Amino acid sequence: MKRLVISLLILGLALPVFAQAGLPEHHFASGSWRLIGNRYHQTDTSARLAKVNLRIPQSGPMIYEFNVRYEDGIEDGQGGFGIHVFADGVYHGASWGSGTSYLLWLNYDENPVTQGIHRGFSAQVYRSNSNSSMDLLESFNLNEFNYLLTYENWVADTVPFRLWINGDTGEVRIYDPTDLEYYFQVFLPTRNLRGNWISIRTNGLGLSFQEGL
């Protein structure tokens, strides 16, 4: 298995999370967001807790599939983004956590201050206990994949993200956006996950997001 944690999809007997009639109910909780067509744009590169909450019921095996485009903000050597899944409730304002949920996070930081976070390109899995409390469960060094952080991959085009999560068992498959034959596997410590929300969030980056690859 290729160990690559740069994309978020979900496979198997699951239903696509965004496959609803029109866009799901959404709340621009913090940051500077605009909805242009079907694309969510976050343009405030100074926002450390930028977040959009989407009401999406989740249980059992789930598929999350969307694409991301870099817009601005990495010049200071720091930035990140990720997705809270299986959130039971959310706060429609700036917050560190997102109810009871799990956060899958991609990070680039040339000088990290948090213990356990690798310098450079990395990924983390957090358990959110409330809107103000999160625990870092795992951190992965992704610097061997720095070659993917190119102008062509991040600025000139969108990056596809696919994530498969079985809420019944806690199994997570994070797929390689350059070759969907491969995925990175993680197991969450909670079984029988249920939730009504996801939260997409950024830290110090201008990004845009859209359903599908």
pLDDT at 100: 97
pLDDT at 145: 81
Residue 204: other Cβ atoms inside 10 A = 20
pLDDT at 23: 82
Q: What pTM was computed for the model?
A: 0.88
pLDDT at 94: 95
pLDDT at 7: 33
| Contact residues for 21 (Cβ-Cβ < 8 A; gap 6+) | none
| Contact residues for 13 (Cβ-Cβ < 8 A; gap 6+) | 61
pLDDT at 12: 29
Question: Exposed/middle/buried for 40, CB within 10 Å: 0-12, 13-18, 19+?
Answer: buried
134 vs 126: CA distance, rounded Å: 6
Asked if 84 and 114 touch (Cβ cutoff 8 Å), the reply is: no
Query: What residues are paired with 137 via a beta bridge?
Result: none
| Contact residues for 152 (Cβ-Cβ < 8 A; gap 6+) | none
CA separation (Å) from 199 to 56, 96, 102, 147? 10, 12, 10, 28
- For the chain, the structural domain boundaries read 15-211
Those residues of the chain that have pLDDT short of 50 are 1-16, 19-20
Arithmetic mean of pLDDT over the chain: 86
The predicted-structure confidence for 15-52, as pLDDT tens digits, reads as follows: 445 544 568 899 999 999 999 999 999 999 999 999 99
pLDDT at 26: 94
- Give all strands (DSSP E) within the chain, no chain letters: 15-16, 26-30, 33-36, 39-42, 50-59, 61-72, 78-87, 101-109, 120-130, 133-141, 159-166, 171-175, 183-187, 194-203, 206-211
In this structure, whether the domain defined by 15-211 belongs to CATH 2.60.40.1530 is answered with: no
